[in-house]
Structure 1
C-alpha cells in the first residue's frame, strides 16, 4: 500500500460558545484537515490544530508545512511503516509536531481501514471500555462558572476542568464558587495554562485550595520552567499535572529525572501524533506517572485519534477531548459516541469516524492537492 495523494483543507470549526483560557480567547478553532488517499483507494483522515503559544506553529505555517514539505514527502510511502514515516518527517523538519500529527493520524486511519480493524487494535488493543467525559469551564465570573457547572450537572456530567490563570485571588474565588455549587462528590480539575507564572504565586494559591478536594492542578507555571514544577510538587498536597511543559521525549526524560510532576497530559498536537504519544505513555508508565490524553480542541478526526490512544493504555486514567461537543458544526460524527457522562468508542475500522465532505467543504477556507 502506497500513498498516492494528500489533500489539505484549512478549516474554521465554529464553536457554540467562545473558548476562553489564560492566554487567549477563541471564537472558533482553526484546523487543518488532511485527506490521504492510497493507490488502492483507501482514504485516511488526519487533523492538525496548532497553537503558537505551545509549539510555535500557526495555522498558516502548519498549512504551508504540510503543502510544501510533509505531504510531498509522503507520496509513494507505505503508511503502515509508522516508524519510518516519522523518521522521514523528523529528518526533513525539526519539531513542527502539530503538522506531523496530521500525517500520522491519516496513516493510522488508512491502515486501520485497510486491515479492517479500529486504530486501538494497531497500538495494543482496547483496554478501557469507557471514560467519563469532563466538561471544560472557560474562564468567566465566579457565579457564571458555578451556574454553568450546575447546568452541566443536570445534563449528567460528573467531572469538570476549570480554566483559570488570570490572577490568584480571582481564580481562587472562581474555584470556591464552583465547589460550593456542585458539592464534594463532583470531580474538579484546575487548569492554569501557565497563568500563575511562577512557583511563588502558585504556592500562594495552593494554600487556599488544599481544603477544596481538587483532583489535580495543571500547568500553573511557564511551560519551560521545570524546576518550578519540581518545587511546587514538593510543597503541594494537591497532585500536579504537567501539560504545556511536556511536548516530546526529551521533555519527558527531564520530567522523570527531576520528578517534576505526578501526572502528564499527553496531546497528539504537542508530540506529533499517535505513534509518538504511545512512546510518551510508555515512558510515563515506566516512571509510575499517570497519564491523561488532552486536546487542542480538535474536530471528530483529531479527537478520535486521541481517544484511540487513551482507550488502549492502562496508564492513561483520564481523557479530555471535548471538541465534538463544543462545535456547532463538525465534519465528523464522533459526537454520537458521547453518551453523557461517558464516551464509548465504536468498533468501526480506522478512527471510526465518518466524514461528511459536504460539511467539510462548507467549513473550508482554502485547500490544495499534493500528488
Structure 2
C-alpha cells in the first residue's frame, strides 16, 4: 500500500461565538485539511491547526510546508510505516508539528480503514470507555462567565476550563464569580495561557485561589520558563499543568527531570500527531505524571484523532476536545453525548467528511500527486 495523492485544503471553520484567550481573539478558526489517497483507493483525512503563539506556525507557512515539502516527500511511501514517515519528515523540516500532524492523522485514518479497526486499536486498544466533556469558558467579564457556566450546568456539564490571563486581579474575580455561581460540586480548571508571565505574578494569584478548590492551574507563566513552574509547584497546593511549555520529547525530558508539573497537556498539533503523542504519553506514564489530550479547536477530524489517543492509554485522565461543539458548521460528524464523549467502533478515525461543506469552507486548495 502506497500513498498516491495528497490534497490540501485551507479552510475557515465558522465559530458560533468568538473564541477568546489571553493572547488572541478568533472570530472563526482557520484550519488545514489533508486528504490522502492510496494506490488502492483508501482515503484518509488529517488536519493541521497551527498557532504562531504556540507551535510557531502560521496558516500560510503550514500550507506552504505541506504543499512544497511534506506532501511530495510522502508520495509513494507506505502509510503504515509511522516511524519511518516521521523520521523522513523530521529530517526534511525542523519542528512544524501541526503540518506533520496533518500527514500523521490521515495515515492513521488510512491504516485503520485498511485493517477495518478503529484508530485506537493501532495505539494500544480501548482502555477508557468514555470521558466527560469539559466546557471551555472564553475570557469575558466575571458575571458574564458565571452566567454562561450556570447555563452549561443546566445542560449537564460538570466541569469547566476557564480561560484567563488578562491580569491577576481581574482573573481572580472571574474565577471567584464562576465558583460562587456553580458551587463546589462542579470542577473548575484554570488556563492562563502564559498570561501571568512569571512566578511572582502567579504566586500572587495562587494565594487568593487556594480556597476555591481549583482542579489545576494550567500554564500561568511563559512557555519556556520551566524553572518558574518548578518554583510555583513548591509553593502551592494547587496542581499545576504544563501546556505550551510541552511540545516534544526535549521538553518532556526537562519536565520529568525537574518534576515541573503534576499534569501535562499533550496536543497533537504541538507534537506532530498521533504517533508522537503516544511517545510523550508513555514518557509521562513512566514518570508518574498524568496526561490530558487538549485541543487547538480542531474540526471533527483533528478532535477524533485526539480522542483515539486518549481512549487507548491509561495515562490520560482528562480530555478537552470540544472544537466541533463550538462550530456552526463542521466538515465532519463526530458525535458528542453531552456531557460525555463515546467513540464508535467505525474503522480509522470513525469520521465521515462532508466534501460539499469542505468545498464551501475552502479558501485555497492544491493536489500533490505522483
TM-score category, normalised to shorter length? over 0.9
Residue of structure 2 in register with 1:203 after alignment: 203
- The CA distance in 2 between the partners of 1:9 and 1:341, in whole Å, is 31
Partner of 1:67: 67
Structure 2 equivalent of residue 366 of structure 1: 364
How high is the TM-score relative to the length of structure 1?
0.99
Whole-angstrom CA distance in 2 between matches of 1:313 and 1:248:
18
In the TM superposition, residue 152 of structure 1 has moved relative to its aligned partner by 0.5
What 5-or-longer segments of structure 2 have no aligned partner? none
Q: Distance in 2 between matches of 1:41 and 1:242?
A: 41
Matching residue of 1:311: 311
Secondary structure of the corresponding residue to residue 128 of structure 2: coil
What are structure 1's unaligned runs of at least 5 residues? none
Residue 20 of structure 1 aligns to a residue whose secondary structure is strand
Deviations 1:82-102 (A, max 9, x none): 000000000100010000000
Q: Secondary structure at the match of 2:264?
A: strand
Q: For the residues of structure 2 that align with 1:60 and 1:215, how far apart are their CA atoms? A: 37
Per-residue deviation, residues 119-166 of structure 1 (Å, max 9, x unmatched) = 000000010000000000000000000000000001110000000000
- Give CA deviations for 1:289-340 in whole Å, capped at 9, x if unaligned: 0000001000000000000000000010000000010000000000x2x111
Post-superposition shift, 1:55?
1.4
Equivalent position SS for 1:78: coil
Partner of 1:232: 232
Q: For this pair of structures, how many residues does the alignment match?
A: 369
Secondary structure of the structure 2 residue equivalent to 1:227: helix
1:355 aligns with 2:353: yes
- The reply to whether residue 244 of structure 1 matches residue 261 of structure 2 is no
Structure 2 counterpart of 1:290: 290
Note the C-alpha offset of 1:54: 1.1
2:58 is matched with which residue? Answer: 58
Superposed CA RMSD in Å reads 0.4
Residues of 2 paired with 1:185 and 1:54: CA distance?
Answer: 32
CA drift at 1:280: 0.2
Distance in 2 between residues matched to 1:37 and 1:346, nearest whole Å: 23
Partner of 1:28: 28
- Written as runs of structure 1 = structure 2, the 5 A alignment for 1:1-371 is 1-334=1-334, 336=335, 338-371=336-369
What displacement does 1:173 show?
0.3
State the Cα distance separating 1:4 from its structure 2 match: 0.2
